Structure 1
Amino acid sequence: MGVFVAVAEEESFAAAARRLNMSPPAVTRTIAALEAHLGVKVLTRTTRFVRATDAGQRYLESARRILAEADEADEAAAGVHASPRGQLAVTAPVLFGSMHVMPVIVGFLARYPEVSVTAVLLDRAVNLLEEGIDVGVRIGELPDSTLHAIPVGSVRRVICASPGYLAGHPELSQPGDLARQTIISASPVSPGIEWHLGRGKQQIIVKVQPRLSVNNNAAAIEAALMGFGITRLMSYQVATHLASGQLVRLFPEYEPPALPVHIIHLEGRQASAKVRALVNALVEGLRGNAALAIRE
């Protein structure tokens, strides 16, 4: 099973052999013996790639679970169940990961010196299974019901500006006034941008024309802090600036519904000690984070 999982994940007999410190012929013989035992092909081989068949994909899920349970049994028998060890990979959105996940990971590594973590910070939904990720932090609704998800809080899209900018624009009293303001856009998709505001039946659309467009949320925050204009970001990105008064939240009654934040992983109750430990650390760290509990 271990050899099959390595070949399926690496999509290469040679890469699996290197990973397992085995010879390529030994890996080939092991897979042939497995297929003979099962009576089905679990891998499709061409000159360019190796892929799991449909039967192989089903077997892969079971093999991963069984191997994880075996590892857990080994840990319990060796008396190290409470001492996670080995390599972990975790993913999160870029700015959220930098601001709120990395402190948890650093504390986790300090607590468990025999664990190593690879942090993959990307502003896209990462497929944990396909990309070899153990644990993820996901913002937004979860369409994939195969994931084990633990809610840790929620965030909102908020409109904000500095007190200095607002002092110079007293006419900003209702959402429609945003169309005539200096706008900082953090993710432009077209010259004209529509901001959908409100909840339920109380919704309005404001067309804004950004004077400054950036592809980096941190840069938009800095421009807003300098008093250049108004920006719209996720609440966790500006939570400390709102709390300190450096930025002011505008029209909170028109903010769309909150987006949930979850810790996700694949293994469920069969998770290894290291995955459980990291999940528990993230749940504890993020549930206590004020940035994930912004008020209405």
Structure 2
Amino acid sequence: MTASSERKLVRFASGDSECAAWHYPGTNGACVIMAAGGGVTKEPGTDPFARRFHEAGFTVLALDYRHLGQSGGRPRQVIRVKEQLADWQAAIEFATTLPGVDPAKLAIWGFSLSGGHVLRVAARNPRLAAAIAQTPLVDGQVAARKTMRHRRPLPMLRLMGRALRDAVGSPLGRPPLLVPLAGEPSTVAFLTTPDGLDGDRALNPGNRYPQWPQTVAARTTLRIGFYRPTRDAARVRCPLLVVVCDHDQSVFAEPGVRAAQRAPRGELVRMPGGHYEPFLDGHEQAVAAELSFLHRHLLDPAPAVRPATGAAAP
């Protein structure tokens, strides 16, 4: 089954502003709501998967969080977890109003930071039909501790200093102090892991998305380490697919594995490679697993049977 038409830009209210999203009209009544990783806009962060879901007949709603991309909100390039979770709620409500969408057939999809959001959003929305967390950041404490080995002391101190100045300047109305999303260990950047450097190659090949800034407010560094959506895994009632990569050095595989095990209807797919492998050589494997999961739980639902621990979705 092929989708009926190409995507169009839509907007919906969230908080005191609005979110922009690509709407891909589908044909099978089911809808996948998507959001990209931390500081990544909807085009580089969802296009490769959104188009494949759309081609399979699913409606897709791929959003930019407030303060990023084409969405509203000032200041820019700021990540606020509470607001992003509210953006998810607004997107879910908006998706139920889209033509041809069955409100009983909604799924959510996110990777990296948004993959962590998926657990929290699914736990708060028991009527969702399915959820996919791809290479998710589910335990910021583990990630912060383990990624320290890829930071050199002086750049790390400079990053912390910049983050503190940014945090102090925020209530005073000063513009954000930005840092690159990724860089070498000798640089001041949000992520300095070896596979973190794959982000531009994976998400922006050939500079396909030149308008993506690839920066984030430095204050984000102070907050992400305390974010632990893994604590919500046991409260996720819908089928949950967690896709992890065994050589992920940015969010690490094991916290995601444990989250899948804690979820009552959790399923797990393990892949080789680093954090961005589902966008690189592992793309077809990831798409196949995710489409199979969506078909089983949105289009051909059967009585819930939990897979054996560590089992991969077919």
Would you call these one fold, judging by a TM-score over 0.5? no
TM-score, normalisation: structure 1 = 0.33
Structure (1 or 2) with the larger CA radius of gyration: 1
- Structure with the higher fraction of residues in strand conformation: 1
